[in-house]
Chains A and B, each alone.
Chain A
């Protein structure tokens, strides 16, 4: 008998001690579903355009009565529409304005905040909307995705001012750069639905193909292949701008490294120190002192003090759970999804949470019906 044969026998003898657990196939399939739900949660969070930077000037041009709620603590105004599950009147807090949203039942209907006529959110036959930091221009994709051109809508006139043609590139989403001069277009051959069911069998063709950076002034686009991870098939895998607009990033679905960064040609790059650790869309506070994190697996999200590492769990009580941290309204207030009720039959609304003291919660929109997750997608545009 050779040494190899002896080792084989010896290994076989050790392996004989292994016991096969019962129900392994079922347990593995359940874990697969959880993995897809985790990725879906991160990709859904990525859909919120919370990184456009600039001053929202348009609201100040409009002479209309806003249902403002006085708190005296937040820097800037609060405008809310707390009586409606999807708002009709302008919603804003501090530096952040809800500039558009998609309301989804079987299909999604898009609403854009305009300042023409009576103003408020008006329906348009769009497939995707993102609003420039100035608030004056919206980039829109037409209803049937992927789209071959981007429309630039003047929000004060509520009309398309110009089209940018993308040639062969098939756009699934578009995001304004923080300086408002470029557009980041994520491309797909077939575009996954906004609220695709992560437990369903994925369509393998629904995978990101890459992205394009469009110079808005010249209308020139540079395309780069950046295929999405294979296990993201059937789920949105849109790319976002980094805070300073020098890099782009995607959610990975992993807890250790939640965001993966690339340069503007698609080469992998190290992400900014604190920002890249956040698994919440809100990320780093405007003053860079607090990081929004956690909450993916049902536990409450929390805020970490960057300097001391101290964490504050966001659990305001009163039967209300904070589920997703979407954007920083100022250095101490977050716009978030709040949930009321049990997991499968919960009601959701957008709220403003003070992360200091008693974690005061201010309602920004009304409760949804009983759902397993929110059925509308906010587009939040953030000022400096």
Chain B
């Protein structure tokens, strides 16, 4: 019982410290579906809790479970139920809000694996080798998936192109 309650306390501390970051990851992996993100986080934390006393790096383990859980749900449903997106904002709303919606929409159109690679590689800033270990694939696969996912995202989301052009133009002037 002592071991159990100590384990539970450590688990609670871990969740309190890291769940704000992991709900963000879950939100991106589920292409912006809040309910699915909550389900994904809870199911993954429950699986982590099952192995709690044996896990050396809970953060890496949880990340791996989240990805695998998401893939498994996606396979079971065959197609991911993308959250109902609001209508695109009218022209007078801010560019930032519109960009968020467009990106969220585009994320939902990527495959589960492409989304995971993008999120882990560019949002979480993980190295290619860490992403490969998390996803259980080779570094080459991570590289090619990231390349394809990025190209598809830019195709689905031309606003990013414009932003990129503006950003490089601004940098050019600064130089």
Contacts and interface: CB of A to CB of B under 8 A. Distances in A.
Q: Do A and B assemble together?
A: yes
Interface of A: 1, 3-4, 6-8, 10-21, 24-25, 27-29, 31-32, 35-36, 200-201, 204, 230-231, 256
A40 to B, nearest CB: 13
Given A14-B28, A15-B28, A24-B15, A7 B49 contact: no
B153 A24 contact: no
A25 B41 CA distance: 10
Interface in B116-164: 118-119, 122-123, 125, 150, 153-154, 157, 160, 163-164
Contacts of B107: 14
Nearest to A199: B4
Interface of B: 1, 3-4, 7-8, 11-12, 15-16, 19-20, 23-28, 32, 34, 37-38, 41-43, 45-51, 53-54, 76, 96, 99-100, 103-104, 107, 118-119, 122-123, 125, 150, 153-154, 157, 160, 163-164, 167-168, 171
A12 B23 CA distance: 12
Contacts of B42: 21, 24, 27-28, 31
Given A3-B154, A29-B11, A231-B51, A18 B34 contact: yes
B10 to A, nearest CB: 11
Contact of B103 (A14, A200, A201): A14
Nearest to B97: A13
B103 A28 contact: no
> What are the nearest 7 A-B pairs in CB distance?
A28-B45, A18-B27, A31-B46, A25-B15, A201-B4, A15-B24, A32-B49
22 contacts: A1-B164, A10-B103, A10-B157, A11-B28, A11-B103, A13-B96, A14-B107, A15-B25, A16-B24, A17-B27, A17-B32, A19-B34, A21-B23, A21-B42, A25-B15, A27-B42, A31-B46, A35-B46, A36-B50, A200-B4, A201-B7, A204-B53
A6 B164 contact: yes
Contacts of A3: 150, 154, 160, 164
A17 B153 CA distance: 20
A17 B100 contact: yes
Nearest to B106: A10
Contacts of B118: 7, 11
Nearest to A1: B167
Given A24-B19, A24-B41, A32-B50, A6 B163 contact: yes
A122 to B, nearest CB: 37
B171 A1 contact: yes
Contact of B46 (A10, A11, A18, A28): A28
B153 A7 contact: yes
Given A7-B160, A11-B119, A28-B15, A201 B53 contact: yes
Contacts of B125: 8
Contact of A7 (B150, B168, B171): B150
Nearest to A18: B27
A125 B99 CA distance: 73
A8 B8 CA distance: 34
A161 B150 CA distance: 72
Contact of A29 (B8, B34, B157): B8
Contacts of B25: 15
Given A8-B125, A19-B23, A14 B32 contact: yes
Contacts of A31: 42-43, 45-46
A235 to B, nearest CB: 11
Contacts of A17: 27, 32, 34, 100
Nearest to B7: A201
B20 A8 contact: no
Nearest to A10: B103
Nearest to A31: B46
A361 B96 CA distance: 67
A27 B40 CA distance: 12
Contacts of B122: 4, 7-8, 11
A20 B23 contact: yes
Nearest to A39: B50
Contact of A18 (B37, B45, B99): B37
Contacts of B37: 18
A4 B157 CA distance: 14
Given A17-B27, A29-B11, 14 more contacts: A3-B164, A7-B150, A7-B153, A10-B103, A10-B160, A11-B122, A13-B99, A18-B23, A18-B34, A19-B23, A31-B45, A31-B46, A230-B51, A231-B47
Contact of A11 (B16, B20, B34, B123): B123
B18 to A, nearest CB: 10
A10 B163 CA distance: 10
Contacts of B1: 201
Which one of A27, A36, A256 has the greatest number of beta carbons of chain B within 10 Å?
Answer: A27
Contacts of A4: 122, 150
B166 to A, nearest CB: 9
